[in-house]
Amino acid sequence: MQFHTTLQSIIMTAEPAAKLAAFRTFYAAYQAGETVFEAAFTPVLFDEPSFASVCEIVLPQDVPRRKSPVTAEGQILLLHAITHIEYSAIDLALDHAYRFTGMPKAFYDDWLEVADDECRHFEMLHTLLEALGSRYGDLPVHAGLFEAGQKTLTLLERMAVVPRYFEANGLDATPQILERLLPIKNDPMIGRIVDALQVILEEEVDHVRKGDRWFDYACEAAGAEKSVYFDIVEQCCPGSYPRQKYLNVDARRAAGFSCSELNRMSTEKVC
């Protein structure tokens, strides 16, 4: 089984069950040492995200607003939004392994392990969505994460923006969602959502940490200082820092951010 060619077909697979099954077959082969790296491979630039045939894609401002999670409708909106993030995260983790050829084996080990986690996160949330009578694709989504991948085609930019910016933002966002859900977690469905989000939050720290490791690697390869992170984020997502919003300092520290970086991200001294 050819490594990059097979990853390309898995990324392009739209239907979630088919994508997950194809990835798991590939990952088992990879772990068994049965995949072969192509001698030369040129990755393609995808024109549209794989989910374009599953979900209606709208602008971020046109994504349905979240409602109180007390109602089933509010729970579906919340779960659909996070399920979509996980689906996008599967493609992005696979795209790191797909797009950056000739990297050390540890790089592929790391991002395929992340893709495997993202598949599990997707499934955990999708099971809850189905329990509420909905499924992935029922609501419109935005393509922000796909676009972030398209705009970051060097390893340095990719590691800065995808794991160290977007996945790290998830470390801040999830506790805030949990804070709203915990007081009502006696509701059985809310309890299940809380359990899933707690697992995801814990496991996402490792994704950001892996991003930190490969961002360091990319900085060294490019002869760049680690502070180039702020220039790259400013280019992709202008006005992101410094921010007043909550930063999950403990999780971010565990994932490799330094106090000086965290203080630079925030309008106040947080570390």
Per CB under 5 A, residues contacting Fe ion are 86, 89, 118, 121, 167, 204, 207
Q: What's the one-letter identity of residue 250?
A: D
User: Which is closer to Fe ion, CB of 116 or CB of 187?
Assistant: 116
Q: Encoding tokens for residue 22?
A: 């194809």
Minimum distance from residue 73 beta carbon to Fe ion (Å): 24
Q: What is the largest CA-CA distance in the chain?
A: 56
Cα separation, 135 vs 155, in Å, equals 34
Minimum distance from residue 256 beta carbon to Fe ion (Å): 14
User: Which is closer to Fe ion, CB of 86 or CB of 157?
Assistant: 86
Cα separation, 65 vs 111, in Å, equals 32
User: Which is closer to Fe ion, CB of 68 or CB of 176?
Assistant: 176
User: Which is closer to Fe ion, CB of 199 or CB of 224?
Assistant: 199
Minimum distance from residue 4 beta carbon to Fe ion (Å): 22
- What element of type H or E holds 266? none
Minimum distance from residue 70 beta carbon to Fe ion (Å): 25
- Transcribe 102-170 into DSSP letters: T--HHHHHHHHHHHHHHHHHHHHHHHHHHHTT--TTSS-B--HHHHHHHT--SHHHHHHHIIIIIIHHH
Q: Among 188, 235, 260, 32, which residue's Cα sits nearest to residue 270?
A: 260
Minimum distance from residue 171 beta carbon to Fe ion (Å): 10
Asked if 80 and 136 touch (Cβ cutoff 8 Å), the reply is yes
Find residue 141's DSSP bridge partners. 57
User: Which is closer to Fe ion, CB of 41 or CB of 175?
Assistant: 175
Minimum distance from residue 39 beta carbon to Fe ion (Å): 31
Asked if 241 and 254 touch (Cβ cutoff 8 Å), the reply is no
Q: Whose structure tokens read 């709208």?
A: 58
Would you give the distance in Å from CA 134 to the centre of its chain?
22
User: Which is closer to Fe ion, CB of 144 or CB of 224?
Assistant: 144
User: Which is closer to Fe ion, CB of 158 or CB of 207?
Assistant: 207
Minimum distance from residue 124 beta carbon to Fe ion (Å): 9
